[in-house]
């Protein structure tokens, strides 16, 4: 009798241990899955300033081929009749269009708060009138901390908010419009800072002189993909990207 009782107790204990082991295994497996999901929640926001340009179509071809969405900060005065189809395609392809003032001329747009807002509003109105597109983001030429705008930036930012606009800086720069960039220098500059962030905002440029940017774009995208990054438009970022202290 005693042996039967002991045998029964042993069987129960063994069953409990097996159940605990299975439960822990499932928990560990689920934990691994959750960890992987967290690690995969890395999103890069590729942004292009200064377009549209003679190269924009080629940028769009690469982005379409790679299945990547980007944000284009456009200069209003460059949206000429022959560039209208480019803007239409950017919208149709699911990219975001942001405002980058109308002239990108510091002497004009930063002469005073009123002129700055005038250029922003003029470009925004153009996007709405010609394309039925309401911009959500704008970018100050040379960033929000430049010396031209510092005396009235807070006033401009307040006016932007009233119009449903958010300004956006960047935390990774390709340095593709400085000096004589190469594909290697662009890649090096992006890799130097990009992996510090789960949501890097990458500054690149879309102008006719930025041919090395075009040459490097596919490599940049593949580099980010291989490191677990997805891509999205900037207004979908969890938080606005402002320079430190802004």
Long-range contacts for 102-106 (Cβ within 8 Å, ≥24 apart)? Answer: 102/75, 102/76, 102/77, 103/75, 103/76, 103/77, 104/50, 104/75, 104/77, 104/141, 106/141, 106/142, 106/148
The pLDDT of residue 244 is: 79
CA–CA separation, 239 and 219 (whole Å): 27
The single-letter DSSP state of residue 5 is: H
The pLDDT of residue 212 is: 97
The pLDDT of residue 35 is: 53
The pLDDT of residue 29 is: 53
Q: Which among 46, 146, 56 is positioned nearest to 104, based on CA atoms?
A: 146
Q: Are 169 and 154 in contact (CB under 8 A)?
A: no
The pLDDT of residue 41 is: 84
pLDDT per position as a tens digit, 212-243: 999 999 999 999 999 999 999 999 999 999 99
Residues of the chain scoring pLDDT < 50: 30, 33, 37-38
CA–CA separation, 139 and 30 (whole Å): 42
CATH of 43-236, one of 3.90.1150.10, 3.20.20.370, 3.20.20.70, 3.50.50.60: 3.20.20.370
Q: Which among 199, 195, 231 is positioned nearest to 70, based on CA atoms?
A: 231
Cis (ω within 30 of 0) for the bond into 181?
no
Give pTM, 2 decimals.
0.84
CA–CA separation, 181 and 201 (whole Å): 19
């Amino acid at each position: 009798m005693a042996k039967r009782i002991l045998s029964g107790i042993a069987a129960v204990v063994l069953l409990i241990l097996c159940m605990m082991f299975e439960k822990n295994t499932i928990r560990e497996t689920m934990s691994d899955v959750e960890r992987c999901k967290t690690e995969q929640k890395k999103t890069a926001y590729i942004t292009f300033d200064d377009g549209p340009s003679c190269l924009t179509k080629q940028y769009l071809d690469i982005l379409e081929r790679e299945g990547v969405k980007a944000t284009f900060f456009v200069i209003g005065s460059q949206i000429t009749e022959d560039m209208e189809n480019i803007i239409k395609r950017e919208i149709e392809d699911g990219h975001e269009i942001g405002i980058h003032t109308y002239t990108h001329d510091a002497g004009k747009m930063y002469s005073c708060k009123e002129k700055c807002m005038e250029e922003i509003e003029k470009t925004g109105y153009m996007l709405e009138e010609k394309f039925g597109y309401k911009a959500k983001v704008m970018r100050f030429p040379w960033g929000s901390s430049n010396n031209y705008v510092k005396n009235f930036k807070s006033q401009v930012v307040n006016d932007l908010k009233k119009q449903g606009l958010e300004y956006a800086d960047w935390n990774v720069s390709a340095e593709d419009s400085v000096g004589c960039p190469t594909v290697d220098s662009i890649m090096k500059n992006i890799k130097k800072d990009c992996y510090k962030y789960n949501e890097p905002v990458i500054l690149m440029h879309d102008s006719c002189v930025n041919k090395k940017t075009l040459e490097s774009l596919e490599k940049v995208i593949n580099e980010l993909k291989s490191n677990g990054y997805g891509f999205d438009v900037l207004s979908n970022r969890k938080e606005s990207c402002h320079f430190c202290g802004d």
